[in-house]
């Protein structure tokens, strides 16, 4: 399978975080980066601080993952409010 990554926040689903700041691709794929098309081979590992084709992919993946986590937390908080669950339930 070859993934054609869309927006940067979407392509994080094709990677797994194996350690803080370290990500491994789950499949072959390509996406358009700031310097053009970037092709990635499945099983490739990227570490924060190392640039691949001019991009620190691990840093980009960390940021995208953090944004996704924050959006899920916001969805959960909105759902809790709809269901009448108070913040005290989480203390």
Q: Report if residue 63 sits inside a domain.
A: yes
The token pair at 82 is 């709809």
Question: Residue 88: inside a domain, yes or no?
Answer: no
- What's the mean per-residue pLDDT of the chain? 75
Tokens matching residue 79: 């759902």
Q: Does residue 77 sit within a domain?
A: yes
36 falls within a domain: yes
What global pTM score does this model have?
0.67
User: What is the percent of the chain where pLDDT is above 90?
Assistant: 34
Range of the domain at 6: 2-83
Q: Give the model's pLDDT for residue 64.
A: 85
Strands 22-25 and 28-33: unpaired
Residue 72 has pLDDT above 70, yes or no: no
The answer to whether position 90 is within a domain reads no
Q: Does residue 29 lie within any of the structural domains?
A: yes
Give the pLDDT of residue 86.
Answer: 43
Residue 70 lies in a domain: yes
pLDDT digits (tens, 9 = 90+) for 30-64: 887 777 888 899 999 999 999 998 889 999 899 88
Looking at the structure of the chain, the number of domains it has is 1
The answer as to whether 79 is a domain residue is yes
């Amino acid at each position: 399978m070859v993934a054609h990554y869309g927006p940067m926040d979407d392509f994080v689903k094709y990677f797994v975080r194996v350690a803080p700041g370290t990500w491994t691709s789950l499949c072959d794929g390509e996406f358009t980066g700031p310097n053009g098309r970037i092709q990635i081979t499945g099983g490739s590992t990227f570490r924060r601080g190392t640039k691949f084709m001019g991009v620190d992919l691990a840093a980009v993946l960390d940021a995208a993952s953090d944004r996704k986590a924050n959006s899920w937390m916001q969805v959960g908080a909105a759902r809790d409010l709809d269901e009448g669950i108070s913040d005290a339930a989480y203390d």
